Structure 1
């Protein structure tokens, strides 16, 4: 079962999908929600969302909070120190785990910047967006949409 680590300021909260499903929350309009927790009512407004970075900015009864959500994959990447390695310039993008290529978001010859989404890899019932770790030009894409890949397999070559 997937466990989530939710960071609000300096506080970390663990949650399971069951915890999320058990929330008594309804949308009242647009980005406004009504939440009941322990017989207390809360007015929640979604102020901004960066789904790629899994960060939200919400207001709860008028108080603003910035939230970062990490699933098990994000936690593993952080614990393995892969984020530190990602800051280095790479010429080869390899599949971080076995999975299925759901979408390729770049083309050969395309210039990309750090943070540019390159492809979507479905693994462990999750969609993972693989992003560029630096600037460069896509030299080749040896995989195709709907192709299964193995861990470590070359998926994009950069120059």
Structure 2
């Protein structure tokens, strides 16, 4: 189960062997990737062009352009929902210990330096993965203690990129 919030409206998404439902309504659509980050969607006999403009996999936040309108999409998986129900979602994200690579890729640009103070949402670095540039942002507050990577360096999934005090 996922919860997706699109421009302040929340939807419950369930996918299983029977198919996908959104708010208990079956989702009958056809989606094709035309080129990198560009998709064509057929839904209810209507055609849509979609483009992923920004993707922050760590925060599970995306900026999507569909038929020339932009949508901010935030996703919570079952673990995020459970932490929220237990009242632990904010506590888990306030203090940051390190930033790990969410996927293998190439460091395109470092946006911070050792000693910088960061706040939740601050951009830290750009990671290129699957021909897409992903801006990795801070999930909480902290001070940069150590940067363990450099520009143009290949990284593996879960590799520590930045350590915080």
Q: What range describes the TM-score normalised by the shorter chain of this pair?
A: 0.5 to 0.7
* Alignment map for 1:133-144 (pairs within 5 Å): 133-144=139-150
Q: Secondary structure at the match of 1:17?
A: strand
Task: Count residues in correspondence.
Answer: 122
Change over 3 Å in CA distance of 1:66–1:17 after alignment to 2: same
1:17 paired with 2:33, answer: yes
Match in the other structure for 1:68: 72
> Normalised by the size of structure 2, how large is the TM-score?
0.54
Unaligned runs of 5+ in 1: 23-36, 39-49
- Distance, in Å, in 2 between the alignment partners of 1:99 and 1:57 is 24
Unaligned runs of 5+ in 2: 12-21, 47-52, 56-60, 84-88
Q: 2:112 aligns with which of 106, 117, 135?
A: 106
Q: Please state which structure has a larger fraction of its residues in strand.
A: 2
CA contact (8 A) 1:6 1:67 kept: no
Change over 3 Å in CA distance of 1:6–1:133 after alignment to 2: closer
- Distance, in Å, in 2 between the alignment partners of 1:135 and 1:10 is 27
- Distance, in Å, in 2 between the alignment partners of 1:80 and 1:96 is 18
1:38-68: CA deviations, max 9, x gaps?
7xxxxxxxxxxx957544799x9xxxx8723
CA contact (8 A) 2:105 2:156 kept: yes
- Distance, in Å, in 1 between the alignment partners of 2:77 and 2:62 is 17
The structure whose Rg is larger is 1
CA contact (8 A) 2:96 2:142 kept: no
- Distance, in Å, in 2 between the alignment partners of 1:126 and 1:56 is 14
Q: What RMSD, in angstroms, separates the aligned Cα atoms of the two structures?
A: 4.1
